[in-house]
Amino acid sequence: MNNKLLAIAVQNYINANLNADVNQIALAKSPFEGISSAELATQITAKKKSEKKLPSWFGAENIYYPPVLSIEQTSSEITAAYKSKLAKGDALIDITGGFGVDTYYFSKKVKEVTHCEINPELSAIAQHNAAVLQADNIKFKAEDGIAYIQNTDPAFDTIYVDPARRAEKGKVFMLKDCTPDIVGNLDTLLEKSSRIIIKTAPLLDISAGLAELDQVSEIHIVSVKNECKELLWVIDKGFAKDPKIVAITLNNGIEKDFSFYWPSANAPVQFAESLNIDDYLYEPDAALLKSGAFNLIGTTYGLSKLHQQTQLYTADSINQGFPGRIFKIEGILNTGELKKLTNLKGNVIVRNYPAKPEELVKKYKIKADQEQFLIFTKVAHGENVILKASIIQYY
């Protein structure tokens, strides 16, 4: 850490240049002795990226920011607050502490929290910021989290880990390809704790993760504004039952969840025999789609599925508890009818249809419209249709 960056004049400069061209700042001569232009540019860029993602940090004075990559990789405050509810007991250790956002939110729920970070500078940054944010129940250890666990006598009620990917194999990666190696050290971790929470990117396949991990009691699929952000794997020592899947959507302070036990994912579903004008079309949130329980979505919310491969559903009434978008169907067209229309407007959505949105926009000269939608999809008997619809619910 360069503590000169915390001087009042420097902090005022950073705040005054949040909307400036950081490339010019990085190339210009630094106005402060002992501070490089690159350091100023990093602080400005990282703080700007924190404005919406980390508003508590952005709004506090004298926050010290790490390299931009750390801000991009850290949890948002919204997801950190959610995962803090999964901690149990009085003592928690975060063995991959990083910038400290998750640690900070755990400290609001747990009496004693330990932050381990192998990068000493990042550890120092997290410790400084915790003091600024008055999180005084966090201990900081600038060392490898796995080694600290192995060489420490006290046990912890909860261990939290956010492993980083070392390699990628196609579109699916394995936990064994991450660091630290949770799979190889799982027995060691369970000797020191009764609960382990693992955060992974949503790219990790649920079936693959379950094949690698033992004693998984819950998997939380966390989505913010219809974007799947992370998977949270909860391991409880001695758990030997079917894991519970929780698809949670976090939108503007509102939480909705879709929960089920893993074996029931492939429940039977009713298919829509027909579509009618004034019916409602349901599009599941990204978290629900990640769960893979496509049929169960329909049976849970009393909806009929359009097609086996079309993850859209319909009903003649509105269920505002549904986690996802709801549209009102105002027209049902085929391609021949669509060609006859002029001045077409709509936000184009393609679901199980043999064309890309940009191709359809060009072909039918469709103008953008945020309130009206043209949904190109396939229904149960295999026919391709275009649904003209207006949006009733976004989340």
pLDDT in tens, 268-281: 999 999 899 999 99
Cβ–Cβ under 8 Å, residues 351 and 364: no
- pLDDT attached to residue 167: 57
Residue 168, pLDDT > 70, answer no
What does the alpha-carbon distance between residue 309 and residue 95 come to, in Å, rounded to a whole number? 41
**pLDDT class of 376 with cuts at 50, 70, 90:** very high
- The ranges assigned to domains in the chain are 3-67, 74-241, 266-393
Residue-wise pLDDT for 224-246, tens only, equals 999 999 999 999 999 999 999 99
- How far CA 247 is from CA of 52, 297, 308, in Å, comes to 23, 11, 21
Average of pLDDT values for 112-125? 97
37-53 and 8-16 helices, crossing angle to 10°? 60
| Fold assignment, 74-241 | Rossmann fold (3.40.50)
Cβ–Cβ under 8 Å, residues 324 and 247: no
**pLDDT class of 87 with cuts at 50, 70, 90:** very high
CB contact set of 124 (below 8 Å; sequence gap of 6+): 1, 142
Number of residues assigned to the chain: 395
* Residue 126 structure tokens: 């997290």
What does the alpha-carbon distance between residue 64 and residue 44 come to, in Å, rounded to a whole number? 10
- pLDDT attached to residue 178: 87
Residue 156, pLDDT > 90, answer yes
CA proximity to 119, closest of 137, 138, 144, 136:
144
- How far CA 216 is from CA of 172, 196, 210, 234, in Å, comes to 20, 9, 7, 6
Average of pLDDT values for 177-181? 88
**Tokens 């550890």 — which residue?**
123
Residue 169, pLDDT > 60, answer no
Residue 378, pLDDT > 90, answer yes
- pLDDT attached to residue 165: 76
Q: What distance, in Å, lies between the first and last C-alpha atoms of the chain?
A: 42
- pLDDT attached to residue 370: 84
Residue 334, pLDDT > 70, answer yes
CB contact set of 68 (below 8 Å; sequence gap of 6+): 42, 45, 46, 49
What does the alpha-carbon distance between residue 15 and residue 281 come to, in Å, rounded to a whole number? 46
Residue-wise pLDDT for 193-206, tens only, equals 999 999 999 999 99
* Residue 264 structure tokens: 């029931």
Q: Phi, psi at residue 57, to the nearest 5°?
A: -70, -45
Can you tell me whether residue 178 is helix, strand or coil? strand
Average of pLDDT values for 103-129? 97
Q: What would be the CATH architecture of the domain defined by 3-67?
A: Orthogonal Bundle (1.10)
CA proximity to 163, closest of 223, 218, 97, 219:
97
* Residue 320 structure tokens: 């505002």
**pLDDT class of 389 with cuts at 50, 70, 90:** very high
Can you tell me whether residue 152 is helix, strand or coil? coil
Residue 120, pLDDT > 90, answer yes
Can you tell me whether residue 114 is helix, strand or coil? strand
- pLDDT attached to residue 166: 67
